Copies of this chain bind each other. A is one copy, B any other.
Amino acid sequence: MKEFVTEHQSPYLDLTTEVSDILYKGNSEYQDIIVAESREFGRMLVLDGVFQTSVKDEFIYHESIAHIPLFLHPSPKNVLIIGGGDGGAAREAVRHPEVEQVTMVDIDGKVIELSKRYFPSIAKAMLEGNPKLTVRVGDGIGFMKEAADFYDVIIVDCSDPVGPGEGLFTYDFYKSTYKALKKDGLFVQQTESPFMHQPLIQNIWASVSDIFPITRLYTSFIPLYPSGMHCFTMGSKQYDPLQWTPNRNRIFPTRYYNEGIQRSAFVLPNFVKDLLYGEKER
């Protein structure tokens, strides 16, 4: 008998993949967790029914959320990752020689544990005990509130704005982010699909642009996520991605990211510009 996992991408849209095996099915204090061996995407992590990451396409998400902010900053020494329990964002961040320490704070220790067990290629930096990386289990919001003028780059690698990720999409959270960053710091957050989650993106944009002098949005192709069109919102105190020129060499290979993508990711289709800036005659 064939087995499947399905994400209800919206009340009216399902994405279903056949799986050869369910490796784990259980729950943590915070969420339902499935680890499945899918025939389309390879091994997948599913939280509360939402496809989080897959071995086949995770490089796109993790390179997009890590390298775009890290290469925008000319000298990212202290990096904070909020969420990111699978370890993929941390794996990419520690590859930058300029990065001296990466602190990752995920609320769900079970996700960290299962990622180390079932996703060794993603959890690589955690498994190897990379000396730059400190992994904490706890509330990222509370943790960040104690920091001031400390981080160069903050990466908010959160799940959807329901369940444990909910508090990471509030005005207060962005205020704390601003305070925790150095005077030339910047942050980035995954902010769902510009095709499917427009009110959410507009709300985030309004908050971030009220607090940060520079607010930008960039996109990435993520086959596992609803519509395949995913976006990231960035708030920056000083560096503007639209003015980016290469500030150092990239000494490691990548599968998605390159210097062209660093620029083109910020080039937005008109309907996305309309979302952010309002509809004008173009």
Contacts and interface: CB of A to CB of B under 8 A. Distances in A.
Interface string A223-258: 100011100000000000000000000000111111
A43 to B, nearest CB: 14
Interface string A1-19: 0000000001111111110
Given A195-B57, A253-B281, A258 B270 contact: yes
Interface stretch (A106-114, A153-161, A180-188, A261-269): A261-269
A60 interface: yes
Interface residues of A, number: 42
Interface string A28-62: 00000000001110000000000000000101100
A40 B13 contact: yes
A282 B251 CA distance: 9
A221 interface: yes
A115 interface: no
A221 B226 CA distance: 12
A116 to B, nearest CB: 26
7 contacts: A11-B18, A13-B15, A13-B17, A60-B269, A196-B223, A228-B229, A255-B270
